[in-house]
């Protein structure tokens, strides 16, 4: 696993020793950033269920202004911190040890949310619901969701739209966007 592009391009990232955490493959990660590339520069990012931190680190490498990494596992956050320091992004990031749903109640507004919870839970739908309920996205902000291909993603509530879905083998990337307020 490595940083694909930007200022930290080519730097290898540490991965977990166990397989409880399923890092996003480089191919899927590259596809995500090809899709959202114009939104990344100077964005404030939330990497929820951050795991190794690779999505937030990739965003920082490509010009994001700041990233908050949230994971409830102290072991994974330690790995994330190590990866952040290795790539030189300690000054433009923050790690938070918290359950994702609890964190969302106090989250600041961001431009991009990466949402990649454990697959065999209901955390994806709960987190989406809370992101929209607490309205943590700025106008035209996006939520990038990674799920199993067969997972039916919910329709969002007011001021949010589900824009596109992309399939990569057994994985699916779904994008949601906050619309302009009237």
Residue 25: inside a domain? no
Spatial contact of 173 and 166, defined as CB atoms under 8 Å apart: yes
- Looking up residue 94, the CATH number of its domain turns out to be 3.40.50.150
- Is 161 strand, coil or helix? strand
> Is 109 domain-assigned?
yes
Task: Quote the pTM value.
Answer: 0.93
pLDDT for 19 equals: 53
- Residue 77, SS3 per DSSP: helix
Domains held by the chain: number: 1
7 falls within a domain: no
What's the domain range around 127? 35-178
In a domain, 17, yes or no: no
134 falls within a domain:
yes
Q: Please, what is the end-to-end C-alpha distance for the chain in angstroms?
A: 42
- Domain-located, residue 8: no
Helix 26-40 to helix 54-61 angle (10° resolution) is: 50
Nearest residue to 146 (alpha-carbon basis) of 171, 126, 169:
171
| Position 24 in a domain | no
Least confident of 31-40, 142-151, 152-161: 152-161
At 155, list the tokens: 């329709």
Q: Give yes or no for residue 17 having a pLDDT over 90.
A: no
Q: pLDDT digit string (tens) for 79-114?
A: 999 999 999 999 999 999 999 999 999 999 999 999
Answer whether residue 22 shows pLDDT above 80: no
Domain-embedded: residue 11: no
């Amino acid at each position: 696993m490595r940083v694909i592009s930007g200022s930290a391009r080519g730097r290898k990232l540490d991965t977990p020793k166990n397989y409880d955490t399923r890092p996003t493959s480089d191919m899927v990660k590259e596809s995500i950033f090809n899709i959202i590339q114009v939104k990344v520069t100077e964005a404030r990012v939330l990497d929820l269920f951050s795991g190794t931190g690779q999505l937030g680190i990739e965003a920082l490498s490509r010009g994001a202004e700041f990233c908050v990494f949230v994971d409830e596992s102290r072991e994974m956050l330690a790995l994330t911190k190590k990866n952040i320091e290795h790539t030189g992004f300690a000054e433009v990031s923050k790690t938070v040890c918290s359950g994702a749903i609890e964190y969302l109640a106090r989250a600041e507004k961001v431009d991009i949310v990466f949402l990649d919870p454990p697959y065999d839970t209901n955390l994806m739908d709960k987190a989406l619901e809370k992101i929209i309920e607490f309205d943590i996205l700025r106008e035209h902000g996006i939520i990038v969701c990674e799920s199993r291909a067969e997972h039916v993603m919910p329709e969002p509530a007011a001021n949010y739209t589900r824009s596109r879905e992309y399939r990569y083998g057994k994985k699916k990337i779904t994008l949601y966007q906050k619309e302009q307020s009237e």
